[in-house]
Amino acid sequence: MRQCRDCGKPFIFFAAEQQYWYEELGFGLESDCVRCIGCRKKQQGIGLKRERYEELFHVADRTAEQNLEMADCCLSLVEAHVFHKQKLQHIRTILKRIRSDSEEGTELKVQTLWERLHALERDDG
């Protein structure tokens, strides 16, 4: 029985998982599992958000949809404490660039992102 590094819950690193790690993923025999499945999935999601943010960051002329996605990724990374709250100003700049009339449904997405941004700012005190 192991204890998750992130949430502290006990979990079992089953033999089938170990076999998959070593044979399919190529982890070394000295590798050990330190997170439960839920926390591992959460970490993977954070990694994917960071990768996507980096991809979008390097796009010169982003569409409104790409800006929405970039703002969402950045907000998620601030919420996960991967990015510092100083990034909130960057998110604010991205959201101001988006024209609410650009596509149907964009206005609701922008509003949701603004609400998340304001919630993070309120938490900052």
Please enumerate in sequence order all residues whose Cβ is within 8 A of that of 72, keeping only pairs 6 or more positions apart, or say none: 113
Each residue's pLDDT tens digit, 1-60: 999 999 999 999 999 999 999 999 999 888 889 999 999 999 999 999 999 999 999 999
Q: Name the amino acid, one letter, at 32.
A: D
- Among candidate residues 64, 65, 70, the one with its CA nearest the CA of residue 52: 70
Each residue's pLDDT tens digit, 65-93: 999 999 999 999 999 999 999 999 999 99
DSSP 20: I
Please enumerate in sequence order all residues whose Cβ is within 8 A of that of 76, keeping only pairs 6 or more positions apart, or say none: 46, 49
- Among candidate residues 53, 79, 77, 82, the one with its CA nearest the CA of residue 67: 53
